[in-house]
Structure 1
Amino acid sequence: MKGFHQFLLSGVAVAAMIGCAASAMAQDAPVADEGGSDEIIVTAQKREQSLQDVPISMEVVSGERLADFAAVDFKAVQNYVPNVFVQQTNGNDTIYIRGFGSPPQNFSFDQAVSVYMDGIYAGKMRQALNPFFDVARVEVMRGPQGALYGKNTPAGAVSVVSASPTSIFEGAVTANYNFDLEGYDLTAYVSGPVSDTLSLRLATRLQNQDGYIENLGTGRDDPRNKLQLVRLSALWEPADGFDLSAKLEYSNYDRIGGLGVSSPVDTGQQPKLTRFTEENPLGREGYSNESVLASVNANVEIGSHTLTSITGYSWFKGHVTNYFDQQTPTGTIVENSVANKYPENFRQFSQEVRLLSPTGGTLEYVVGAYYDTARYNVNPFLYYNVLAFNIVSLNQLYFHQESRTLSAFGQATLRPFDGLRIIGSLRHTNTHKDGTFSGKLISGQIFRALTSASGSIRESLTDPSITVQYDLSRDLMVYAVYGRGSKSGGFVSNTLGTINSTFIYKPERSRNWEAGIKSTLWDGRATFNVSLYNTKFKNLQTSGYDPDTSSYITKNAASATAKGIEGSLRIAPSRYFDITGSAAYQDIKYDSYPDAPCLAGMTGTICDQSGGRLPYTSKFTGNVAVHGRVDVSDYKLDGTAVLGGRSGFFDSDDQSPLYGYQKGYAKLDLRIQFAPQDERWHVALVGKNLTDKLTTGSAFRLPVPITTSTRAILFVEPPRNIAIEAGVKF
């Protein structure tokens, strides 16, 4: 009956979408001011600019689009942005852009794709685990962004801009009930002035939804998600030439249960929606995270210049507890042979100051300085029950890191004549890190030697870029970019047997050549952008699971190169219909990796992966979004369909062509909404993954003798699910 309901609702949604689009196309041809020429304003270069004027390969996802499909985490963004992939695990997800990212196995990694929340750097994914509520837009910048965005952006950067307080009173409440996850998602905000100079905005999100994987051992569906978010924003404008905004956000996320299911190791992936775990000896399986993010942004005009100060504080604590499916591919229940738990806590303070010159002259510039200090601890529990050796062992590791970063940066734009802009950027960064590592036996017998390590890192890195940008006409711009990026070195945080000689890994560096075209067509009703790139990494930081030794290997790979093409097209002939498509094709490989861990099918412990493909990379990614609208008297019917897909990719570290390969797929999301013309209320039907593709975000082999029955563990992503939504505005 549940499947029939899904089929019926999917059919209704598809039929409504087709009818909506057909009726929209049948509308009378619109006049110019009814076209889809809404300009997208971004702040990718620290100034407000039209997206079509920014010489960067980037995509923007609106807050409205994210809200339409109840997006919670960064996994949702990859449906709209080609060449972006989010590796999903039990609690340490990783963003990849153009095939480069920082693998999740080493918890202390800084990220190669860094996230910025309202201008605040979040180098750990858990700082901004659930950022997508009451959002204005998400800007995804591909390629190194070291000059303006700073450290740890050698692959790209993601900037999340939350909604700001308004000068008029307004508010909204939206409730979403998911039939398949059997739970609700509630969002609300209220915003408006409290005086002539001060405006406030209060937003919240509450979610309580069941899981989609039946756990035969606990009698529940995994993973159940409970989420509480609240953000208070203030905007103070006491005088002309001065404004101050402040935001305080609290997040409490609790996920009960895991994502991993068993699959054979001698066939292709066979993801399923059942698992079996017994939750001992480390307590309840799942992930918990509590975080605080605060920021104060002040702007003051000094003559014709603007001085900006951004102060940030972030803090989180949490833990992830992993058990692995004890149900073998043949259905036999085996012992709970291995488990781990990663308690961690983090705090960071940051300060940025920058000066912006006026625009429109022969020379304009941005100069500034940045400082942050952070403290991070992760103290994993590692449990082994190895029957072959008659060993039961519970260990705890202790990792502590303190870091400081200081950098100065600048960007100058020279306009020697109309239409030509030469942009030069430079950032110099000094990083200091101290780290310690140790371990102890909690109970049982020693499984692996317990070791200790300590180290100190002092680095000075310089990231330049040069861009030439030329307007061939008012609506056609071409650009070429050379840029460099870097990510600081660090320490191995959670691997048994770590010693001083294996404790430290070096910084990684990237360089990027890129050329592109941005065009506006049909009197603003269409845009077409395309870019070519060649991105090379040296000392690429890698971390992977070696099933033969049941250990993590963290080190610097020699070098890797990605080259490809990215493009996007938007056509909006009227307010009744628009279509947006974007796609990317890339070729990525290791240039040199002679001392790599061996892949599936190789023999030995060290192998040469030079010339091989990187994991978690698809050759092709793309999406198409179609929106149609029909007016019915004083009401309107809106339909939005988003089809996103990618070609096949290896999603296991050992790149097994069987259990470690996710075949290509396409997923369809649909939203059908009915509302009055003033949108003071709405009801909607929302379907996600209507193609019901069962896919995996990550995989690995659980080997003998760690278990008595070797098997693959697949981290399964959600199947088809359908929800109904209702909301009011006031």
Structure 2
Amino acid sequence: MNRASSSLNLLKNPLYTAISLICASSVALAQTSEPKILEEVLVTSQKRVQTLQEVPISVAAVTGEKIERMGIENLEDLTAYVPNIHFTETGLSTQMRIRGIGSDNSQGFEQSVGVYKDGIYHSRAQLFRAPIFDVERVEVMRGPQGTLFGKNAIAGALDIITARPTNEFEGQITAGYETEFKTKEVNGYISGPLSDNLQGRIAVRYYDDPGFMFNTTKNRDEPDSEEKSVRGSLAWQPNDKWDILLVAEHNKFDVQGRAIEITQDVASISTTPPPGGVGGLTFQQILGASFGASIDSEADYRRQINSPEISNNKIDSLTLRADYHLGDYTITSLTGGLRFEYDENCDCDFTPVDFFSLDMYEDYKQFSQEIRIASPEDRAVTWIAGAFYQTYDQSFDDDFNIPLTSPLQVLVRDRAIPAYQVQFPFLQYSPRFGGSQVARRFNQSSDIWAIFAEATWRATDRLSLTLGARFTEEDKDADKTINVLDIATGDIINDTDLANIFAIIFLTDTEQGTGHNVRGSRSESAFTPAFTITFDVNDDIMTYAKISKGFKAGGFDPRTNKASRFEFEEEKVTAIELGSKMRFLDGRSEMNVAVFHMDYEDLQVSQFDGAVGFNIGNANSTIVQGIEIDGRVQLTNNLLGTYGVAILDFEYDDFTNGNCYFGQQPDSTVGNDKFCDYTGLRGVYTPEVTINAGLQYIQPIGSLELAASLDAQWVDKQQVHVNLDPRGEIDSYTMLDARLALEAENWVIALLGKNLLDEEIISYSANVPLSETFFQTNTYYSFLRRPRTIAVEATYRF
């Protein structure tokens, strides 16, 4: 369970904090004699350059300056600065959620949060782990964005805009060192003109992190990661009609170990003694008594893993954007090529005992092309229209390995689980069990095309109506095989007894045999309209109302062990949002408010099956609603305040086919499948309240500047267990980051602190494989976020 550290008194009551900050801003502004207007933030969330206050959706923008200043390395770091967005890494995938909606554990899922880089869709979960460096800004759009961003942005969209080449020569290099865990980082770029109409930019990043957990079995720190990134871009203006941008990027990041440890261990409910033990023991006691293995089950950044754990990742992307100005119209061509591959080994029994290991490999290739035309912006009716095409090929392999030394041989040979003997009297021991593996092979391909348009009519000086729609069609094909192989030779083992053993371990559809060879094809189409009314109350207050439809494709699950669950259905949403963008006090204060209600149909959910796999199901109806408030306040000429409040209500309105957590009494049974009714419950990562507050202070000191930043986020208690086990609810926590810097024209020296309150934050929990099915204990493994870190940074600009 999460151990919450003591927090600052100011932040113990988040609502009081937000209200106090807003009230304090008014007092400070009233006393300031020299007004300073807030700088406008430009965004492209509507495929046009607009100020943040003009956009009639709930959108947050984090500038490249903020990302650099606060040491934001990746999407996980970004979540500490934007309410209602969540990021987590699991043992099998990476997940991102907006307003509690995201994609769970399956390499077959399209992503509910559409992540884009320079307008190119990054559609697979593993791409979320890529670093963020040398960017202009990151835009976070909450709620379905189906018209302009496509079918899978059903929860929202996140667009990473990289820094463009400059017309003037400039460069920068930054080196950082974290004192507690010895993390080292170097970032740099060079940018400038190559000729009169050609500019170039190259950016590089190197990151070396020995890890913040200690593996007591291997006597080393983990996860040990090394990241190398390079991006090159060229901007070319052959004449006054063309603007062409080419961006090529390569990322390589390799990791040994994981930020996983066993965090809870509830005693066995079985009265049948496991081998060499007695009934009523914890998993820790059983491992010690039966196998001489020692584990600790506290959340203390100490883990016990013996098998090799690696994650080697490589991502390559190429983006070509060409803007052609045809009179007052702009034609844009956006071409993207993307490939990634990774090779992982997971000690997924999460113990120092050689029960089993899991090897995974994925190779993904994607090509996309978008062409759109935008009308002039100074007309009573403005519009944008276009067409989109994307194709991808994906292969995913994973091998469940039983080593020759695995104690599972003893458990099966001695029939240590009487329940299995009763349910499966045919079970016989096979001497070929050790040294075998269950190999899953999955291939998937997709072709997508879409047409879209959006038009805005300025009916009066204050009233605008916007109508948009997108029609999407996708053809998807997939196949999967499961076979039992000899690890040494790779040959298929035709052994009925061995197949039966794996059938029980994997909880497959049938009582005898695990192998299956399945194929599937899907052809889906979707029409996703949106309608927005915008009304300017006056020059400083804009209000809007929007209703929209969203769609996320169905597909095929590469990791389920049940042929009957190979295919899953698409999900849909109808969303209503009411909002306002407001300026106060002569442009020195801004406040944005959004009230939303979203009705999801057939929400895709993946949950642990209690053995070694995950099953995907569709929740018939899910209601998500809430309020988001954010803003900026120029408190004085030297002090800027920011704030954000998100209140989220999430409820499964009709979800009768959820996977039960350990010990939960099933509400229904279909064949071997046991289901629990989750109707009326909240989902994972749905804190009721999230509060953000920040201060940025700049004070000239002669020719230098003293710059200080303080950012805090309070997150309410929430459920992080994939099967909604009540023990998986974590307490509220406060993230506090700060930066103190001395800046000159060409150099910066800074001290940066993250998680200064040293909160111990569990970001994901699930049951340890086999603990439930073999030992009947309620044992959890969890991912933990990094504890307090303090780093020094030095920057040189030229």
| TM-score normalised by length of structure 2 | 0.84
| C-alpha distance 28-512 of structure 1, shift in aligned 2 (>3 A) | closer
* Counterpart residue number, 2:578: 515
Aligned-residue offset at 1:669: 0.6
Residue of structure 2 equivalent to 1:264: 264
Q: Structure 1, residues 588-628: CA drift from partner, whole Å, max 9, x if none?
A: 11110122222355213212111111122111112111111
Contact 1:81 1:622 in 2 (8 A): no
**Of 261, 275, 280, the match for 2:303:** 275
- Equivalent pair of 2:699/2:706 in contact (CA under 8 Å): yes
| Residue in structure 2 matching 1:606, options 670, 675, 681 | 675
Sequence identity of aligned pairs in percent? 30
Q: Any conservation in 2 of the 1:379–1:397 contact (CA below 8 Å)?
A: yes
Q: Are 2:777 and 1:685 aligned?
A: no
Q: Which residue of 1 aligns with 2:341?
A: 317
Alignment-mate amino acid for residue 721 of structure 1: T
Judged with a 3 Å threshold, the aligned counterparts in structure 2 of structure 1 residues 432 and 324 are, in CA distance, closer, same or farther, namely: closer
Which stretch of structure 1 is more off in the superposition, 44-53 or 337-346? 337-346
How far apart are residue 325 of structure 1 and its match?
Answer: 6.9
Partners of 1:718 and 1:130 lie apart in 2 by 18
Letter in 2 for 1:124: R
Q: What are the within-5 Å matches in structure 2 for residues 284-683 of structure 1?
A: 284-324=308-348, 335-384=353-402, 385=406, 386=408, 387-390=410-413, 391-392=433-434, 393-443=436-486, 445-446=498-499, 447-448=502-503, 449-496=514-561, 498-499=562-563, 501-547=564-610, 549-604=611-666, 605-658=674-727, 660-676=728-744, 678=745, 680-683=746-749
* Residues in 2 aligned to 1:90 and 1:240: alpha-carbon distance in whole angstroms: 52
**Could you tell me how far apart the structure 1 residues matched to 2:265 and 2:138 are?**
39
Does the 8 Å contact 2:589/2:631 carry over to 1? yes
The CA distance in 1 between the partners of 2:33 and 2:552, in whole Å, is 50
Is the contact between residue 92 and residue 126 of structure 1 (CA under 8 Å) also seen in structure 2?
A: yes
Could you tell me how far 1:89 is from its partner in structure 2? Answer: 1.7
Residue correspondence of structure 1 range 59-98 to structure 2 within 5 A: 59-90=60-91, 92-98=93-99
Mapped to 1, the partners of 2:128 and 2:33 lie a distance apart of 42
User: Does the 8 A contact of 2:395 with 2:442 survive in 1?
Assistant: yes
Q: Find the counterpart in structure 1 of residue 7 from structure 2.
A: none
More strand by share: 1
Q: 1:551 deviation in Å? A: 2.5
Q: Shift in Å at residue 320 of structure 1?
A: 2.6
Deviation at 1:458, TM superposition (A): 0.3
For normalisation by structure 1, the TM-score amounts to 0.91
CA distance in 2, matches of 1:232, 1:259: 32
What's the offset of the Cα at 1:413? Answer: 0.3
Deviating more after overlay: 377-386 vs 559-568: 377-386
1:695 is aligned to 2:761:
yes
Q: What is the 5 A alignment of 1:232-243?
A: 232-243=232-243
Conserved? CA contact 2:231–2:247, under 8 Å: yes
Cα RMSD, aligned residues only: 2.1
SS for the counterpart of 1:523 is coil
Q: What is the CA-CA distance between 1:553 and the residue it aligns to? A: 1.1
SS in 1 for 2:367: strand
- State whether residues 687 and 722 of structure 1, in contact with CA within 8 Å, keep that contact through their aligned partners in structure 2: yes
Q: CA deviation at 1:645?
A: 2.1
Structure 1 residues 395, 707: closer, same or farther in 2, change over 3 A?
farther
Could you tell me how far 1:151 is from its partner in structure 2? 1.6
Which shows bigger deviation, 119-128 or 79-88? 119-128
| SS of residue paired to 1:452 | strand
Once the two structures are TM-superposed, the CA of residue 262 in structure 1 deviates from its matched residue by 1.1
8 Å CA contact 2:749–2:793 kept in 1: the answer is: yes
The DSSP-based 3-state class of the residue aligned with 1:194 is strand
SS in 2 for 1:358: coil
Q: Which amino acid aligns with 1:389?
A: V
SS at match of 2:565: helix
Gaps of 5+ in 1: 1-20, 328-333
- Aligned-pair distance for 1:125? 2.7
Asked whether the 8 Å contact 2:551–2:571 carries over to 1, the reply is: yes
1:428 Cα deviation after fit: 0.2
Question: CA contact under 8 A between 2:758 and 2:787: conserved in structure 1?
Answer: yes
Unmatched runs of 5 consecutive residues or more in structure 2: 1-23, 268-296, 414-432, 488-497, 504-513, 667-673
Kept after mapping to 2: 8 A contact 1:40/1:50: yes
Residues 128-143 of structure 1: pairs in structure 2 closer than 5 A: 128-143=128-143
Q: How big is the shift at 1:706? A: 4.8
The superposition leaves residues 46-69 of structure 1 with CA deviations (integer Å, 9 ceiling, x where unpaired) of: 000000000000111111111122
Shift of 1:339: 2.3
- Cα–Cα, structure 1 residues 528 and 436, in superposed 2: closer, same or farther, change >3 Å? same
1:490 shift after superposition: 0.5
Partner of 2:122: 122
Q: Name the CA distance, whole Å, in 2 between partners of 1:299 and 1:643.
A: 40
The answer on whether the counterparts of 2:107 and 2:125 sit within 8 Å (CA) in structure 1 is: no
String of CA shifts for 1:404-436, please: whole Å, max 9, x gaps.
Answer: 000000000011111111000100000000000
CA-to-partner distance for each residue in 1:26-50, whole Å, 9 max, x for gaps? 9994634xx2511000000000000
Cα distance in 2, alignment partners of residues 533 and 265 from structure 1: 40
The higher radius of gyration belongs to 2
**Partner of 1:201 in structure 2?**
201
Paired residue type of 2:544: Y
Q: Secondary structure at the match of 2:378?
A: coil
Q: CA deviation at 1:696?
A: 1.1
